[in-house]
Amino acid sequence: MCGIVGCILKENKDVAPILFNCISKLEYRGYDSVGMATFNGEINVKKAEGDIETVDSALNFRNMKGYFGIAHTRWASTGKPTDENAHPHLDETGTVAVVHNGTLENYSYIKEELIKEGHEFKSTTDTEVIPNLIKKYMDNGLDLENAVRKATEKLKGSYAIVVFAKDEPDKLVATRMNSPLIVSYGKEGYFVASDTPAVLEYARNVVRPKEGEIAILTKKGIEIHDANGKKVPWRSEYIDWTPEMAQKEGYDHFMIKEIIEQSTAVRNTLGQKANIKKVIEEIGDVKRICFVACGTSYHASISGKYLIESLAGIPIDVIIASEAKYTAKTWDEDTLVVFISQSGETYDSRMALKQARKTSKTLAIVNVAGSAMSEEAEFVIQTQAGPEIGVAATKTYVAQLTAIYLFAGLLAGDDDLINQLYKVPTYIDEVTSQREYIKELSSRYDFADDAFYLGRGFSYPIALEGALKLKEITYIHAEGYAAGELKHGPLALIDEKVPVFVIIPPGEDYDKTMTNLEEVKARDAIILSVGAEGDEKIAKNSRMVFEINPAVKDIIAPLVYIVPLQLISYYVTLDKGYNPDKPRNLAKVITV
């Protein structure tokens, strides 16, 4: 998703090197174009399609002049990734500059209106209507703040914008609706950005403007105004994520660093036990729980379903957030709707959360403190994975699972389960310590066009998540299946060219999964099993095996068995020559 940054320095020195550094920290969100605008009497703009390094070596962002400016990484949604569509966008007179994250649902109507009034457009983006609207209102006599307010009143959809204008210089004006935006301050000056990693190096005191509020940044400080222009008091929180936490620290990629950090993510999230207990007490009795999430967070939710249904006997639904509106009709005051999201900003989940608040108790399990969903849900549990930069979720996933396991264990009063969780970090470290071996195993898979992942019961969501990791970073088509479902169709696709990953921990589903393993073996599939150390039956029936030591049982498997699958995807990606941190077409935070 697009990343936005704005900065105004306290002193009259050039802001460009700082802005450039900040926008580079948002690369992880996914982007296809980059641009910057600064002001030194005139608005200077440099922007182009391409990655930050390439565009910078052609345009040299860092020599731009002026003590304030805005920067943007664009992830194309409306209009192709082209130089012209890259942000910042100016109005047709070149006097109002805007960066925008989000999508405007009604931009084509506004554009038509503006064209009728004689305005001209250069790009095919939705964003370009914003500077033109602002300029129009400024020409009608409004100051910049009120012109921004009036312009945003016309917009439908999602936006976080930062604006400056030649006719009212020396200030940045920012606002948001359904898109994330933080304001922060440090020694050098005042910042606005779509996410904290952008500014951590310079400013760790973060203010989170509410939707519709307008932030005004000058070299003297920050003001936040409400929808009526009234000054509102703001409170800042200190972000204890260090800038180093968002660096590679000697690893080749964020993804491998984050896979290795999973034991710490679990350990730190276990530290939330007392908070989770309190949340459960405050929630009180519920008759039904409905998990709502997307992607990897959806897979964590399925683990939650298996766990809570088997331990606490509470009926659970798991809904993909973008499909939630149908189930939402059945939510009532006895339903707890649980939203799982690493970013806490996912648009589809947020829209479902808005809906759920009208009828039910809501709980958000998020990794980013102060994120939109943590503000909007009634109850919050914060996972403690630290910043995750790789687009493919890894450590945030095991942290989500840890929070869900604690929640389920505490809900059901199952001390045995909770005690087992404290051993998980060691199990994870044992797997990651074998990464050279996993690398070797992975080198045999880069040929594949398709792959299947099979698991039953607690291992079914592992299969789904294993397949997602493979497809999103290696671009190999992969499907996760409930092992018993294979014979109802997909078995037709299995032959001697297809890798099948079988997740088969010890436990009550073992024998049935073994039957499924034998079914694919009979079709000569290339089987790689993940099972308990020393399991000879698995070894005999599989082409390759990754052994989990010690032999954790199925109920704990989701927290451990996923790790070799993440590592396999990582190494296959490297063999194919792709960058695992930045898969094509994907973004870390999906705010549209």
The correct pick among 178, 341, 513, 529 for binding ligand AGP (CB under 6 A) is 341
Of residues 354 and 497, the one with the C-beta less far from ligand AGP: 354
* Residues in 561-590 that interact with ligand AGP by CB under 6 A: 586, 590
The correct pick among 179, 196, 343, 459 for binding ligand AGP (CB under 6 A) is 343
Of residues 472 and 547, the one with the C-beta less far from ligand AGP: 472
Strand ordering across the sheet containing 335-341: 316-320, 288-293, 335-341, 361-366, 379-382
CA pair distance 574, 255, nearest whole angstrom: 11
Indicate whether 349 belongs to the interface with ligand AGP (CB under 6 A).
yes
* Residues in 387-416 that interact with ligand AGP by CB under 6 A: 391-393
Name the percent of the chain in helix, strand, coil, to the closest 5.
Answer: 40, 25, 35
* DSSP codes joined into one string, 329-343: TT--TTEEEEEEESS
Of residues 349 and 541, the one with the C-beta less far from ligand AGP: 349
Q: How far is the CB of 335 from ligand AGP (least distance, A)?
A: 20
Catalytic annotation, pick one of 47, 257, 305, 588: 588
Of residues 16 and 589, the one with the C-beta less far from ligand AGP: 589
Structure tokens at 411: 């809900």
Query: Which residues are within 8 A (CB) of 342 and not within 5 positions of it... i.e. 6 or more apart?
Result: 296, 297, 366, 367, 368, 383, 385, 388, 393, 396, 397, 400
The correct pick among 102, 189, 295, 425 for binding ligand AGP (CB under 6 A) is 295
> Is 7 in the active site?
no
CA pair distance 141, 51, nearest whole angstrom: 40
Indicate whether 38 belongs to the interface with ligand AGP (CB under 6 A).
no
Helix ranges restricted to H, 169-323: 254-260, 262-270, 273-283, 295-312
Of residues 232 and 586, the one with the C-beta less far from ligand AGP: 586
- State the residue number with the nearest CB to ligand AGP: 295
Query: Residue 163 in contact with residue 174, Cβ under 8 Å?
Result: yes
Query: Residue 201 in contact with residue 17, Cβ under 8 Å?
Result: no
The correct pick among 33, 101, 194, 296 for binding ligand AGP (CB under 6 A) is 296
The correct pick among 19, 216, 294, 363 for binding ligand AGP (CB under 6 A) is 294
CA pair distance 119, 133, nearest whole angstrom: 10
Strand 172-177 with 182-185, pairing: unpaired
Indicate whether 258 belongs to the interface with ligand AGP (CB under 6 A).
no
CA pair distance 85, 466, nearest whole angstrom: 36
Give the range of 261-269, 385-393, 543-551, 556-564 binding ligand AGP by CB under 6 A: 385-393
The correct pick among 101, 303, 342, 383 for binding ligand AGP (CB under 6 A) is 342
Structure tokens at 535: 């399991």
Q: Interface mask (CB under 6 A) for ligand AGP, residues 471-490, using x and -?
A: -x------------------
Query: Which residues are within 8 A (CB) of 428 and not within 5 positions of it... i.e. 6 or more apart?
Result: 262, 263, 266, 398, 559, 560, 563
Q: How far is the CB of 73 from ligand AGP (least distance, A)?
A: 17
Structure tokens at 377: 């849900």
Q: How far is the CB of 474 from ligand AGP (least distance, A)?
A: 13
Give the range of 171-179, 343-351, 357-365, 515-523 binding ligand AGP by CB under 6 A: 343-351
CA-to-CA separations, 242 to 17, 57, 386, 387, in angstroms, rounded: 20, 29, 9, 9
CA pair distance 211, 208, nearest whole angstrom: 9
Q: Interface mask (CB under 6 A) for ligand AGP, residues 527-566, using x and -?
A: ----------------------------------------
Q: How far is the CB of 364 from ligand AGP (least distance, A)?
A: 10
**Does the N-terminal peptide bond of residue 550 adopt cis geometry, omega within 30 degrees of 0?**
yes
* Residues in 443-472 that interact with ligand AGP by CB under 6 A: 472
Of residues 335 and 341, the one with the C-beta less far from ligand AGP: 341
170: left (phi over 0), alpha (psi -120 to 50) or beta: left
> What φ, ψ does residue 475 adopt, rounded to 5°?
65, 15
Of residues 165 and 352, the one with the C-beta less far from ligand AGP: 352
Amino acid residing at 194: S
Give the range of 154-162, 264-272, 342-350, 451-459 binding ligand AGP by CB under 6 A: 342-350
Q: How far is the CB of 373 from ligand AGP (least distance, A)?
A: 8
Query: Which residues are within 8 A (CB) of 419 and not within 5 positions of it... i.e. 6 or more apart?
Result: none
Give the range of 20-28, 288-296, 492-500, 544-552 binding ligand AGP by CB under 6 A: 288-296
Of residues 396 and 541, the one with the C-beta less far from ligand AGP: 396
Query: Residue 343 in contact with residue 588, Cβ under 8 Å?
Result: yes
> Is 2 in the active site?
yes
The footprint of ligand AGP on this chain (CB under 6 A) covers a number of residues equal to: 15
**Residues in contact with ligand AGP by the rule CB under 6 A:** 294-297, 341-343, 346, 349, 391-393, 472, 586, 590
Give the residue numbers marked as catalytic.
Answer: 2, 588
